[in-house]
Amino acid sequence: MIWYALYIALFVAVMFGVGLYHFRRTKGADDYLIAGWDVGPVKIFLTVIATWAGASIFIGSVGLGYQFGLSGYVRFALPATVFSVILAVVFARKLRRTRLYTVPDIFDERLGKPAGVIPALLSAGLYAAPVTAMQIVALGAMFNILFGMPLGWGLILGWVIIYGYTMLGGLPSVIVTDSIQTVVLVVGLVIMGVATWNYAGGMTDIAPAVPDGHLSLIGDDPMGTLVFAMTIGPFYLIWQSSWQRIYAARTERIALWGNLTGMVVAGTVIAIIPVFIGMAARSFVPAEGLRPDSVFYIVLQDILPPYLGGILAMALMAALVSGGDSFLLQGTANLTRDLYQRYARPDASQEQLLRTSRWGVTLIGLVALLIAFFITDIVGIYTYTLKWTAVTLVLPFLAVMFWRRTTRFGVIACMLAGLGVTIAWEVGGNPFGLTEIVPGYLAGAVALVAGSLFTDHAPGEQVRAIWFDGLERRTAEEVTATAGRSRDRVE
């Protein structure tokens, strides 16, 4: 136990040291939320990897490997990688050129108010808070298993670590510590992967122990694998954590190559190791009555000596904190930029926005802590948040990027129809055996096309296809003023 405590205490001390350093240097919201649009290629590369490897990779992918074998990788990490690469290759330069902050920013700038409200509420409430809660749950479980700490106190301690460090330094400290955390988590994953594989006896002993289909990339349920992959994948086109790292890059070239290389390494090298760990665990971890989320902790306790297990515990903490801080800042950016600045105080100074941002971290953090006490399934909650966010935002994002005829009414109708039909279809038991994302996307597409073709561009819109025409970045005051002048002309 002493080894675990020493490694974890050292790691927390370093993180809070970096946070305090940047607390004194951060003067405004631009620095706090987007690191002043001035991050270099190495830091972008490392922070992308660290953000990728949160609870969904460390805990979720081990569970998917245990439950589905190699198809666990095809279900989650592979589609996430493919769509992340598309985001970097096709959109990174165009997005960086706008010098914005968030996903909802794109809708507000292109379509005017209130097009960004639904994306902001989804991003802050439906995604950022629950996914931050996932990291808190994983930390609480780690403290419970390693030190016998009551789970409730473990959750509170996990929250204190993630919240306190993020609140102090914002994105600048996150990017610095992500660089350190990437090294730690890669070393920890490699140690755990090699140790688990050897402990299980290598492929000769693992192959007979795994169920039929676990050595196939598509598994024994190809359609289920495909549906799960297409439920997960499209979300990564509008994953705000990736967008923030694109926006934060110093140049368009860095936005492209820093994010692309980080995504490829994270998705093809780092993400596959936990799947192999889960597969290997089949040979010595009994499946009866086992929750897939617990496989990682069983492996951690059973096969590694404490001096190596401590490194892995530190790696797990690195993964969870790097994910938690990114998701906290994502929700905070939505509250500060997309709601407070645009709708309450368009003339707010950088100092006022900085104070609001720190209060935003507190609010999102407290909501996440509350949710953490009710989470029982990490993979399940992550799947729901990704699915609902994707069916709401992916089609509107593609529309404003490529279709000049897109109107505000069409986009809002698409968001509401896509989300509403998806939830209603699932609540109704998926009639005709059709998975809910199919009618969700179809309803959104119909609403988008019909709504845009049969309505005029609203006051305040920039009638552009952003990928072809670019986007004129305006302040919140200018968006309001432009809408007012357009309305006067119409009247």
Indicate the pLDDT class of residue 250, thresholds 50, 70 and 90: confident
Asked if pLDDT for residue 162 goes beyond 60, the answer is: yes
Q: Is 482 in a helix, a strand, or coil?
A: helix
Whole-number pLDDT of residue 478: 60
Q: What is the pLDDT of residues 356-366, one digit of tens each?
A: 888 888 999 99
Q: What is the CATH number of domain 2-389?
A: 1.20.1730.10
Asked if pLDDT for residue 486 goes beyond 70, the answer is: no
Q: What is the pLDDT of residues 180-205, one digit of tens each?
A: 777 777 787 888 888 888 888 888 88
Q: What is the pLDDT of residues 279-338, one digit of tens each?
A: 888 888 777 767 766 777 777 777 777 777 777 777 777 777 777 777 888 888 888 888
Among 214-228, 263-277, 431-445, the range of highest mean pLDDT: 431-445
Asked if pLDDT for residue 98 goes beyond 80, the answer is: yes
Instruction: Specify the amino acid at residue 373.
Output: F
Tokens of 281: 């665990």
Indicate the pLDDT class of residue 491, thresholds 50, 70 and 90: very low
Cβ atoms within 10 A of the Cβ of 203, count? 12
Cβ neighbours for 489, distance < 8 A, ≥ 6 positions apart: none
Cβ atoms within 10 A of the Cβ of 56, count? 28
Whole-number pLDDT of residue 481: 59
Average pLDDT over residues 3-13: 81
Q: Is 102 in a helix, a strand, or coil?
A: coil
Mean pLDDT of all residues belonging to the chain? 83
Q: What is the pLDDT of residues 71-92, one digit of tens each?
A: 888 888 899 899 999 999 999 9
CB 472 within 8 A of CB 124: no
Domain boundaries, the chain: 2-389
* Predicted TM-score (pTM) of this structure: 0.83
Higher pLDDT, 186 or 424: 424
Higher pLDDT, 312 or 93: 93
Whole-number pLDDT of residue 199: 84
Rounded Cα gap, residues 9 and 61, in angstroms: 26
Whole-number pLDDT of residue 33: 66
Asked if pLDDT for residue 490 goes beyond 60, the answer is: no
Average pLDDT over residues 335-349: 84
Between 113-127, 159-173, 428-442, 456-470, the lowest mean confidence (pLDDT) is in 159-173
Between 8-17, 315-324, 404-413, 420-429, the lowest mean confidence (pLDDT) is in 315-324
Indicate the pLDDT class of residue 27, thresholds 50, 70 and 90: low
Tokens of 256: 């492209």
Q: What is the phi-psi region of residue 211: left when phi exceeds 0, alpha when psi lies from -120 to 50, beta otherwise?
A: beta
For the CA atoms of the chain, what is the radius of gyration? 22
Average pLDDT over residues 440-448: 97
Asked if pLDDT for residue 477 goes beyond 80, the answer is: no
Whole-number pLDDT of residue 85: 94
Rounded Cα gap, residues 386 and 319, in angstroms: 19
Among 313-327, 403-417, 471-485, the range of highest mean pLDDT: 403-417
**DSSP letters spanning 244-273:** HHHHHBSSHHHHHHHHHHHHHHIIIIITHH
Higher pLDDT, 483 or 94: 94
Q: Helix, strand, coil: what percent of the chain each, to 5? A: 80, 0, 20
